[in-house]
Amino acid sequence: MEPTAAQESQAAGWWRQAAVYQVYPRSFADSNGDGLGDLKGVVSRVPYLAQLGIDAVWLSPFYPSALADGGYDVDDYRDVDPQLGTLADFDEMAARLHERGIKIIVDIVPNHTSSRHAWFLEALAAPKGSPARSRYIFRDGLGPDGALPPSDWTSMFGGPAWTRVPDGQWYLHLFAAEQPDLNWENREVRDDFLTTLRFWSDRGADGFRVDVAHGLAKNLAEPLEPLPARHHPAGLNGTHPLWDRDEVHDIYAEWRQVFNEYDPPRAGVAEAWVHPSRRPRYASPAGLGQAFNFDLLEANWRAGEFLRVITDGLAEAQRNGASTTWVLSNHDVVRHASRYALPAQDHLESTENAKGWLLSNGTSPEPDLKLGLRRARAATLLMLALPGSAYLYQGEELGLYEVADIPAELIQDPSFLRSGGAEKGRDGCRVPLPWSPDGASFGFGASAAHLPQPAWFGPLSVQAQEHDPASTLVMYRQALGWRRRLRTAERLEWVPGGHGQVLHFARPGGWQSVTNFGSEAVPLPPGTVVVASAPLKEGLLPADTTAWVLGS
Ligand code: GLC
Ligand code: CA
């Protein structure tokens, strides 16, 4: 039977309200006992993913990499790291996921390659001004003997964004020195990425998460423009020399054409840490189609902040035909069960400050972990009731906290090293998952894991939780199951009341979500409570709790 137009458009829009689960492959499941997660490990856990009830998996980079930045330093965009498996393993993984109706989103890292990429090795061996160098951003230094960096540009991981090579030139890296930035004015660079997009699309990728999507276009006109002063509006109008320039969208317009060669069209989601007013351009149907909205992740646990973020996010999506995205945790930030265990943070006036807070402040003052998890569960349940797509990060379904006490000598994150220890780095949310209460690495693999796991992982393991109806894992399973059945039109209606401490909304079809941010228990609307983030108190919704109510 021919699919109807509605079915067809539904197939094309699968991502619009998808629950997407982020797998950080090196920390998910280790099939061969070398301490590093791998693709066969993912395959072995496909039944788990299916039972969880997600619609898609987003895999952080699994490409060959020296791991200078957790795999975001890619040696070869069209291969699998031998430590993680082979292309055949990728195919097997794709087949197993697709069999269970789970889509695959792969992570594309276009801003920079690794310093071991064939192109960069070629550039180092080639002379100044050569075509090989023009795939990257090489410049002569300043000062009489060129010993000063070509500009004041700084790396996101601390220190100058320029590193000098033996013949005296400097190359640009907005991240680690092992991550040289590509020159996106170079046609060959552009074409090669189109080849990569087709390569993975042909192998079954249903979509792409685009790393540092706001960084590709730079103002490379001579003399190189200095960084604007901190509060200069450059970040708001597309005139910053490095970030969020308007020309970047020409690149995604080309990518969109490739996405649309496929049926259904491949999906895209931009990782763009830009001002909210600039986000719609990335999410445009003529561009990547979706962009991460990190506003929820940056919000404090306060009704007013959540209300504003949700209202703005939905309005923005409606204006530009995209669907909203929601994120509470990912591999770059302190896990939300730990964030909400800390006092609220004010004056997060810029994304940069907020990120600094998220990255560095997982430990002090002493976190109230019980409260943190309670709020994290309530926040997740609220998020999963919203129209749009929800991005979940591996381990949040177990209620994992940030591992805040990794010894300095075991830390892998370049932001820790390059900031001289000022930034704690992101390893604390990347510790391999606990699958069972004991064993060499809590069921992650047959030996110790590549980052140390704390003893408290045991009781939070999958096995310890899966038969406990009060566990976080069971709450996620129930919520994702109901979400699949209940999600309807991408709309919600706010239900007033609650004196500013309660967020209550209804989705078409009789699905209501109520969250109590206040300190007193509040009544629930009539109907059946199908999931709650904590037990009700004599029929009332207690503090820091969300419940879903069906009917009437
Ligand atoms: C993105 C990734 C992050 C990585 C950076 C550089 O922000 O999410 O993990 O370090 O890009 O590729
Ligand atoms: Ca392994």
Check the CA dihedral 524-473-373-350 and report its sign: negative
pLDDT at position 551:
87
Average pLDDT over residues 366-375: 91
The answer, yes or no, to whether any atom of ligand 1 lies below 6 A from the CB of 175, is yes
Average pLDDT, the chain: 93
Helical H segments across 13-61, by residue range: 39-44, 46-52
- Among the listed ranges 318-322, 355-359, 438-442, 542-546, which one has the minimum average pLDDT value? 355-359
Q: What are the C-alpha distances in Å from 281 to residues 8, 244, 246?
A: 26, 10, 9
pLDDT at position 417:
82
Using the 8-state DSSP alphabet, how is residue 15 labeled?
Answer: G
The answer, yes or no, to whether any atom of ligand 1 lies below 6 A from the CB of 413, is no
> pLDDT-derived band of residue 142, with 50, 70 and 90 as boundaries?
very high
358 pLDDT more than 60 = no
For residue 375, what are the contacts with CB-CB under 8 A and spacing of at least 6? Answer: 301, 340, 544
Q: Which tens digits make up the pLDDT trace of 501-510?
A: 999 999 999 9
List active site positions: 211, 261
Residue 239 corresponds to which amino acid? T
What distance in Å separates the CA atoms of residue 114 and residue 423, rounded to the nearest whole number? 22
pLDDT at position 280:
92
The answer, yes or no, to whether any atom of ligand 1 lies below 6 A from the CB of 211, is yes
What distance in Å separates the CA atoms of residue 21 and residue 209, rounded to the nearest whole number? 12
Count CB atoms within 10 A of the CB of residue 463.
Answer: 16
The answer, yes or no, to whether any atom of ligand 1 lies below 6 A from the CB of 81, is no
Structure tokens at 21: 């689960």
Residue 444 corresponds to which amino acid? F
Q: Which tens digits make up the pLDDT trace of 74-123?
A: 999 999 999 999 999 999 999 999 999 999 999 999 999 999 999 999 99
Q: Which tens digits make up the pLDDT trace of 183-228?
A: 999 999 999 999 999 999 999 999 999 999 999 999 999 999 999 9
pLDDT at position 347:
46
For residue 202, what are the contacts with CB-CB under 8 A and spacing of at least 6? Answer: none
350 pLDDT more than 50 = no
> pLDDT-derived band of residue 342, with 50, 70 and 90 as boundaries?
confident
Q: How far is the CA of 70 from the centre of ligand 1 (A)?
A: 9
Q: Residue of the nearest CA to atom 7 in ligand 1?
A: 212
Q: Which tens digits make up the pLDDT trace of 509-547?
A: 999 999 999 999 999 999 999 999 999 999 999 999 999
198 burial via Cβ count (<10 Å: 0-12, 13-18, 19+): middle
Average pLDDT over residues 126-153: 97
Q: Residue of the nearest CA to atom 12 in ligand 1?
A: 72
Collapsed DSSP state (helix, strand, coil) of residue 528: strand
Which ligand lies nearest the alpha carbon of 209? Answer: 1
Contact 69, 178 (CB under 8 A): yes
Nearest Cα to Cα of residue 368 among 431, 307, 452, 301: 301
415 Cα distance to chain centroid: 17
349 pLDDT more than 50 = no
Q: Which tens digits make up the pLDDT trace of 27-68?
A: 999 999 999 999 999 999 999 999 999 999 999 999 999 999
Determine the residue of 172, 212, 242, 417 to mutate for testing ligand 1's pocket, defined as the one with the most ligand atoms within 8 A of the Cβ atom. Answer: 212
Cis peptide leading into 25, omega within 30 of 0?
Answer: no
Q: Residue of the nearest CA to atom 6 in ligand 1?
A: 72
Overall pTM surpassing 0.85 (yes/no): yes
**Which one has a higher pLDDT value, 420 or 138?**
138
pLDDT at position 499:
84
Apex CA 434: angle with CA 470 and CA 24, to 5°?
Answer: 110
Nearest Cα to Cα of residue 17 among 492, 388, 293: 388
140 burial via Cβ count (<10 Å: 0-12, 13-18, 19+): exposed
> pLDDT-derived band of residue 8, with 50, 70 and 90 as boundaries?
low
> pLDDT-derived band of residue 423, with 50, 70 and 90 as boundaries?
confident
Count CB atoms within 10 A of the CB of residue 133.
Answer: 23
Residue 494 corresponds to which amino acid? W
Q: Which tens digits make up the pLDDT trace of 448-481?
A: 999 999 999 999 999 999 999 999 999 999 999 9
The answer, yes or no, to whether any atom of ligand 1 lies below 6 A from the CB of 108, is no
What distance in Å separates the CA atoms of residue 130 and residue 185, rounded to the nearest whole number? 15
Apex CA 514: angle with CA 508 and CA 518, to 5°?
Answer: 155
73 pLDDT more than 80 = yes
pLDDT at position 365:
63
Nearest Cα to Cα of residue 367 among 403, 397, 338: 338
What distance in Å separates the CA atoms of residue 218 and residue 232, rounded to the nearest whole number? 17
